Amino acid sequence: MRTTTETDPGPETVAELIARQWGDHRPGLKYGAEAGPGATRAPATVLTRHRTAQEAAARAALLADLLPPGAEPHVGVLLDNTPEFPFWLGAAALAGAAVAGINPTRRGPELARDILHTDCRLLVTEPAHLPLLRGLDLPGVRILVTGTEEYEALLAPYAAAKPGEARVGPGGPRPDSRLLLYFTSGSTGAPKAAVCSQGRLAAAGHSLARHFRVTPEDVHYVCMPLFHGNAVMACWLPALAAGAPVALRRRFSASAFLDDVRAYGATYFTYVGRAVQYLLATAPRPDDRAHPLRLGFGTEAGAVDAARFTERFGVRLVEGYGATEGGASIQHTPGTPPGALGRPGPGDDLAVVDPETGRECPPAVLDARGRLRNGEEAIGELVNRGRSHFEGYWRNPGAEAARTREGWYWTGDLFFRDPDGYLYFAGRTDDRLRVDSENLAAAVIENILARWEAAAAVAVYAVPDEAAGDQVMAAVALREGAAFDPEAFAAFLAAQPDLGTKMAPRYVRILDAMPVTATNKVHRAALRRTGFLCSEPVWHRVAGAYRPLDGPAVEALLSAYGERGRRELLEG
């Protein structure tokens, strides 16, 4: 079988990658070897690459028959990391259709909006997620529930299908065929569905497989959710390109991580910063280095936690930068300084520019400890002045135009660049928050908190997390005569059907009046500048309950920031 090489140009479509598995009886998919700490672990179920292609072909045929005439060839997938998810990714690729990854942390009308906005006429889910759909208005959407007798009966007539037989349009899948509609949040509130074509995704998988020298003897452990680009683009696709099997974890578990790795023989995994923090928080074990892992690839681990991870587990973490949109990429290469993400990827003409003037910012001046000394002039927005791989947002021309102003791709992220050309992430340009590697829009959370009867005004903004990314902080001006009742506030949050699991404020600051600018807008910069180190009362969410952030609690927090080298982020 073909494997990726330095000179191999790679496949043109993901459909080709799926079809290549036909007749290949090496391991393709491992799952089911999950158990809690101390529990008996069942042996993994292993499907061959041929079997995974067979399952994808069957679903491609079902999709082609169930899709209404004239409908967009989109199927929503609301699943945990079960085998059905890669089966449907493969099915969409073979049929020339697209998967919309539906986020199960979304709730109520916001969840319905994601499904309807992406024109999904089919929605694949599982019994565990059916409560999320209860009461939602989803006109014209047919729901397929995996693991049921009805679902198995629907699939049975297509068991003999082969790759390439079922297509949703003339000509079959092409490099420019849509394959993913994956949501990414922005400052306007509603998430945007980034369009990802088969050609771009196939090239990305091939490139990563070559960069990390993936072979069929590797095993890629998929513990990040497949409804996000991280798991699909950086874990599933490079394994597919190199002929390596993937091992699925239904949901990430820090306590079971190493046991999973050993059970599956995993050599590679992808992560987000919060996952690394959770892994480091587990109790050290004598066998922490007894495993086959050789590499982790992801984002936002932070230099301190990445070093601790390598020291404890003996595994190198490689930080990357590359949004789902594909507009800009940064590659970590040997010699990349601590704290830097790397240099521009092949073909990218990346620059750090002043968003007001469009002029390139001067290089950063770093002291002996690598701390930035000229941030005011060195920090700007990262733009790609060359050929971008951005393919647009589904039915959102305004957002597309904002991304591609003046012929450049504007990332919306702040960076600085050292004299040697290495790029360092410095924040975001708009009112976004990144919590546990999920992009959240402040306006959405504000609209929900504004329903609280005791609130006269609400402003939501990001404060740095102790380890990586952001946490949600809400400034609340109370109505006259009202007092902050922490139990009532927690109960209010729990009763909001559209409050996603990442949206509940970690910190709540109680104000007499909301600070405003000369134009009568909320003075967010002033709020961010002081964060939770302010003179007003602040409440801190611990285990779902809000408690006063008093002196000892503040000192404990500051110590946590200091241990990870992030204390200076609080000094605005």
Instruction: Report the range of poorest mean pLDDT among 49-63, 236-250, 366-380, 466-480.
Output: 366-380
- Is pLDDT above 60 for 5? no
The closest alpha carbon to 434, from 410, 462, 411, belongs to 462
- Is pLDDT above 70 for 263? yes
Domain that holds residue 404: 341-428
Q: Are 147 and 80 in contact (CB under 8 A)?
A: no
CA dist., res. 456 & res. 484, Å (int) = 12
SS3 content of the chain, % helix, strand, coil (to 5): 30, 25, 45
- Is pLDDT above 90 for 146? yes
Residue 132 lies in a domain: yes
Residue 5 lies in a domain: no
- Is pLDDT above 80 for 376? no
What is the CA angle 308-311-317, rounded to 5? 70
CA dist., res. 317 & res. 303, Å (int) = 10
Task: Name the most confidently modeled range: 21-25, 480-484, 564-568.
Answer: 21-25
The closest alpha carbon to 140, from 84, 218, 86, 69, belongs to 69
Q: Are 376 and 364 in contact (CB under 8 A)?
A: no
pLDDT of residue 432: 66
Instruction: Examine the domain organization and report whether 368 and 271 are in the same domain.
Output: no
- Is pLDDT above 70 for 400? yes
Instruction: Report the range of poorest mean pLDDT among 160-169, 273-282, 316-325.
Output: 273-282
Q: Are 508 and 489 in contact (CB under 8 A)?
A: yes
CA dist., res. 568 & res. 216, Å (int) = 44
pLDDT of residue 427: 64
Residue 521 lies in a domain: yes
Single pTM value for the model: 0.82
- Is pLDDT above 60 for 348? yes
Per-residue pLDDT reduced to its tens digit, 73-126: 999 999 999 999 999 999 999 999 999 999 998 899 999 999 999 999 999 999
CA dist., res. 182 & res. 204, Å (int) = 16
Per-residue pLDDT reduced to its tens digit, 523-553: 887 888 888 989 899 999 998 899 999 889 9
The closest alpha carbon to 178, from 187, 169, 188, belongs to 169
Number of structural domains found in the chain: 3
Instruction: Examine the domain organization and report whether 160 and 277 are in the same domain.
Output: yes
- Is pLDDT above 90 for 3? no
What share of the chain in percent tops pLDDT 70?
Answer: 94
Residue 54 lies in a domain: yes
pLDDT of residue 518: 46
446 vs 362, more confident: 362
Instruction: Examine the domain organization and report whether 257 and 373 are in the same domain.
Output: no
Instruction: Examine the domain organization and report whether 203 and 85 are in the same domain.
Output: yes
Confidence tier at 196 by pLDDT (50, 70, 90)? very high
Residue 453 lies in a domain: yes
Q: Report the mean per-residue pLDDT for the chain.
A: 90
Q: Are 438 and 450 in contact (CB under 8 A)?
A: no
The closest alpha carbon to 29, from 92, 83, 84, 77, belongs to 83
Confidence tier at 199 by pLDDT (50, 70, 90)? very high
CA dist., res. 328 & res. 239, Å (int) = 23
3-class DSSP string for 66-134: HCCCCCCCEEEEECCCCCHHHHHHHHHHHHCCEEEECCCCCCHHHHHHHHHHCCCCEEEECHHHHHHHC
Find the largest Cα–Cα distance for the chain. Answer: 74
Instruction: Examine the domain organization and report whether 246 and 374 are in the same domain.
Output: no
pLDDT of residue 41: 80
CA dist., res. 209 & res. 206, Å (int) = 5
CA dihedral 346→349→351→355, nearest 10 degrees, is -130
Instruction: Examine the domain organization and report whether 543 and 444 are in the same domain.
Output: yes
pLDDT of residue 1: 41
Instruction: Examine the domain organization and report whether 311 and 240 are in the same domain.
Output: yes
SS3 383: strand
Query: How many Cβ atoms are within 10 Å of 12's Cβ, its own excluded?
Result: 15
Instruction: Report the range of poorest mean pLDDT among 138-142, 247-251, 299-303.
Output: 299-303
Token pair of 316, please?
A: 């190198």
Per-residue pLDDT reduced to its tens digit, 413-464: 888 899 999 998 776 676 667 888 776 767 778 878 988 989 888 889 999 8
- Is pLDDT above 50 for 2? no
Instruction: Examine the domain organization and report whether 241 and 363 are in the same domain.
Output: no
Instruction: Examine the domain organization and report whether 526 and 541 are in the same domain.
Output: yes
Instruction: Examine the domain organization and report whether 393 and 443 are in the same domain.
Output: no
Q: Are 228 and 101 in contact (CB under 8 A)?
A: yes
Instruction: Examine the domain organization and report whether 288 and 197 are in the same domain.
Output: yes
Q: Final residue of a domain: which of 376, 401, 428?
A: 428
Instruction: Examine the domain organization and report whether 128 and 215 are in the same domain.
Output: yes
- Is pLDDT above 90 for 7? no
Residue 335 lies in a domain: no
Residue 474 lies in a domain: yes
Q: Final residue of a domain: which of 378, 402, 428?
A: 428
Residue 324 lies in a domain: no
pLDDT of residue 519: 43
42 vs 204, more confident: 204
CATH of the domain at 348: 2.30.38.10
Instruction: Report the range of poorest mean pLDDT among 148-152, 163-167, 510-514.
Output: 510-514
What mean pLDDT comes out for the span 37-64?
A: 91
Q: Which helix (H) or strand (E) holds 410?
A: strand 409-417
